[in-house]
Each structure stands twice: as structure tokens, then as C-alpha cells.
Amino acid sequence: MSDITPHNQEDNQKQQQQETYQAQPIIINQNNNNGKSNPIGIAGFIISILAYILYCIPIVGHLIWILGLVLSIIGLFNRPRGLAIAGVVISLIWIIFYIMLIAGLLFFDAASTGLEGF
């Protein structure tokens, strides 16, 4: 009992408190794809969006749209595929828009020529 004095007990309590309040290191892994990316899919996505902006320029808008579609389809074969899929979907929306536009023009052309005959 001689080596446990009030002074030693106080030091032991302080040391135990310091040990319990010691900060734990926090490790955050922000790199979920282990350094892999899909630059072709990203490029296809960005170019598909750019085609929406430049749709009013006839030749340039169409070429950019086709380039975005091709790059997005190539990007589907690499992982991660998220932006490549988004680029393909955006390009397919353009295809649907053009089909509806051509069908509408053909309908109005047929309707106008049909009225001229009377």
C-alpha cells in the first residue's frame, strides 16, 4: 500500500481519462471505383448534352449528336457505365424527337396536298 498514494491515484485517474478521450482516426475511402473511370462514356455524355444546346445549327448539331451517340455506345463496354448509359438515353431521345418531327412534317405535307386537290 505504500506505492499507492493519493498522488499516484490522482495521476492514474487523469491518465485513464486522457486515454478514453483520445481521438480515433477516421478513414474515409472516397475512391469507390479503384482509380478506374470511363473517359469515353463521360465524353459521350457531355457531347450528347452539347448536341441539345447546338441543335439549331443544322450540320454541326447533327454531327455532334452522332458523335455523342457513338462515343456513348463505345463507353457502354467499359465500367463504370452510368454516364455512358445517360449519353445513350439522351441520344435516343433525339432519335424519337426526329422521328416525330419527320412524321409530323409528312402528315402536314400529306394533309396540305390532299386539300389542294379539292
Tens of pLDDT along 16-57? 666 655 667 777 766 555 668 889 999 999 999 998 888 778
Contact yes or no for 88/73 (Cβ under 8 A): yes
DSSP assignments along 80-94, one per residue = --HHHHHHHHHHHHH
Q: State the Cα torsion 18-23-24-25 to the nearest 10°.
A: -140
Cell readout for 32 is 469507390
Per residue in 64-112, pLDDT (tens digit) is 989 999 999 999 998 888 999 999 999 999 889 888 988 998 888 887 7
More confident residue, 40 or 3: 40
Given a cut of 80, whether residue 6 has pLDDT beyond it is no
Looking at residue 30, its pLDDT comes to: 63
